[in-house]
Amino acid sequence: MFYNDCVRQSELFSKTRREAPKDEESVNAKLLTRGGFVYKNSAGVYSFLPLGWRVLKKIADIIRGEMDAIGGQEMLMAALHDKRYLTATGRWDVGVVYKVFAGNEDEPSFNISWTHEEVIAEIAASYVNSYQDLPLAAYQIQTKFRHEPRAKSGLLRGREFLMKDLYSFHVSENDLNKYYQKVAKAYHKIFKRCGLKSIYTLAAGGEFTVSNTHEFQILADVGEDTICVCEKCEYAENKEISKLKTGDKCPKCGGAVMEKRAIEVGNIFPLGTKYSEAFNLRFTDERGEKKYVVMGSYGIGLGRTMGTAVEVFHDGRGIVWPENIAPFKAHLISINRKQKTEDRGQKIYDKLQKAGVEVLYDDREGVSAGEKFNDADLIGIPYRLVISDKTKNEIEVKRRDSDEMRTMNLEKILKLL
């Protein structure tokens, strides 16, 4: 899938750590740091190491596939924004915005990207003229910066984080609504492919819009949000705006409503004409009349999705990655490193490589079997393949999410993978 899908653990940039970092509270940050996926530079600011970057790239690819499928065109916008963008919509003084100034200035004249409604509205205004130019949809995967006061949840709440943001442009509210539904479906697919079950939740518009919006929530006790969700039909409202509480009847189906903790991994916004008005984004309709373009915006946090997967899929020993976003498919481990085992390991590694299986090969010398198994459990790759003097010509296979061990030959394993 990537250029280098087979990596020797002895050459891996990062190493695992036995101890959890003292300055992390969240499970995702602890396990991702111990496993060598991320490095914390400061509160809410993480670097993605090769293992972590592989996971993030997989999430990005899943998102790209689903965005392209609904007509989204990928682009990359500037991250440094002149002050005029946010002053045009009254958002220059939103609390989370990081402002920057050149060394010789007294006042900040720029901000770094926290969202892109203003920037893309201005760009679109230079290309959209007539109703025939619409609808349009464009997205990017880009770094956002937000000064989050509480940055204690690891990847769930960063001050710097990767977001996919899609923006759509329409001739009418009606056309926007149809597209909004399409995006909602694409979002459910994205999270499903990441191994996560998302709940479509009615929510507030925040700093973005006066309308209601919809969030995609993943149930998890560590979630900062509370949603009121029907146990039967899964109709859900964010507690922030909901009048429902545990025990109430669902307004849609009469089922029982429960309040549950959840993590917001996506949010979609019907924007109306707020940003088009600010940037004179207009089109001429069929009767020659000038009208404002109706916009929507749609976000997914990539790092938050990754962190959520860790919160949902881990056990006492480490991460249990969902297959589609695991850094590798197989973790090949050779133990009892007699020359014969080593040669066999190399051969199997080569064959897996040829067959296109993404594999991390634990070829480290002087590391005990126990340590290798602990590391494999911590890193959480879906299939563990062990060869030792004991396994003879076969390979011992174990899934990370099960205790069952089976012994097979390579051919069978290639079929399994």
**Least distance in angstroms from the C-beta of 140 to ligand ATP:** 13
Q: What backbone phi and psi angles, to 5 degrees, belong to 397?
A: -110, 135
User: Cα–Cα distance between 92 and 111 in angstroms, integer?
Assistant: 8
Cα separation, 305 vs 243, in Å, equals: 28
Instruction: Name the residue nearer to Mg ion (CB basis): 267 or 391.
Output: 267
Selected binder of ligand ATP within 154, 158, 195, 327 (CB under 6 A): 158
Q: Torsions phi, psi of 266, nearest 5?
A: -145, 155
Among 291, 279, 63, 283, which residue's Cα sits nearest to residue 166? 63
Q: For the stretch 42-75, what's the b/e string if a residue is b when 16 or more beta carbons lie within 10 angstroms of its beta carbon?
A: eebebebbebbbbbbbbbbebbbebbeebebeee
Nearer to ligand ATP, 266 or 380 (CB): 266
Query: Are 281 and 125 within 8 A, CB to CB?
Result: yes
Q: Which is nearer to Mg ion, 131 or 167 (CB)?
A: 167
Nearest CB to Mg ion, comparing residues 164 and 331:
164
Candidates 55-63, 271-279, 299-307, 376-384; binding stretch for ligand ATP (CB under 6 A)? 299-307
Cβ-contact 226, 244 below 8 angstroms:
no
Q: Where are the alpha helices (DSSP H) in 90-229?
A: 117-125, 173-193
Tell which one of 89, 168, 267, 334 touches ligand ATP (CB under 6 A): 267
Answer with the entry of ligand ATP, Mg ion, none that 157 interacts with (C-beta below 5 to 8 A by kind): ligand ATP
Q: Which does 303 bind (CB under 5 to 8 A by kind): ligand ATP, Mg ion, none?
A: ligand ATP
- Choose between 301 and 380: whose C-beta lies nearer to ligand ATP: 301
Of the candidate residues 36, 52, 296, 303, the single one contacting ligand ATP (CB under 6 A): 303
State which residue, 200 or 383, has the beta carbon closest to Mg ion.
Answer: 200
Burial class (CB in 10 A: 0-12, 13-18, 19+), 370: exposed
Please state, in angstroms and as integers, the Cα–Cα distance from residue 323 to each residue in 246, 348, 356, 380, following that order. 34, 21, 15, 10
Q: Which is nearer to ligand ATP, 89 or 388 (CB)?
A: 89
Query: How would DSSP label each residue in 290-344?
Result: EEEPEEEEEEEEHHHHHHHHHHHSEETTEE---GGG-S-SEEEEE-S--HHHHHH
Smallest gap, in angstroms, from Cβ of residue 267 to ligand ATP?
A: 3
**Which of the residues 229 through 288 are near Mg ion (CB under 5 A)?**
267
Q: Is 394 exposed, middle or buried (0-12, 13-18, 19+ CB in 10 A)?
A: middle
CA 338 from chain centre, in angstroms, equals 42
Cβ neighbourhood burial of 265 (10 Å; 0-12, 13-18, 19+): buried
Q: Which of 387, 384, 388 is nearest to 405 (CA)?
A: 384
Site membership for ligand ATP, residue 157 (CB under 6 A): yes
Query: Which of Mg ion, ligand ATP, none is residue 380 near (CB under 5 to 8 Å by kind)?
Result: none
264 touches ligand ATP (CB under 6 A): yes
Q: Is residue 265 near ligand ATP by the rule CB under 6 A?
A: yes
Query: CB of 327 within 8 A of CB of 213?
Result: no
Segment near ligand ATP (CB under 6 A), from 52-60, 84-92, 278-286, 300-308?
Answer: 300-308
- Region of 25-33, 188-196, 258-266, 335-343 interacting with ligand ATP (CB under 6 A): 258-266
149 binds ligand ATP (CB under 6 A): no
**Least Cβ distance, residue 376 to ligand ATP (angstroms):** 28
Stretch that binds ligand ATP, among 119-127, 130-138, 153-161, 309-317 (CB under 6 A): 153-161
Which residues are CB-neighbours of 84 under 8 A, at least 6 positions away? none
**Residue 34 site contact among Mg ion, ligand ATP, none (CB < 5 to 8 Å, cut-off depends on kind):** none
| Piece in contact with ligand ATP (CB under 6 A), picked from 295-303, 309-317, 324-332, 341-349 | 295-303
Interface residues with Mg ion (CB under 5 A) are: 267
Interface residues with ligand ATP (CB under 6 A) are: 146, 148, 157-158, 161, 163, 206, 264-267, 299-301, 303-304
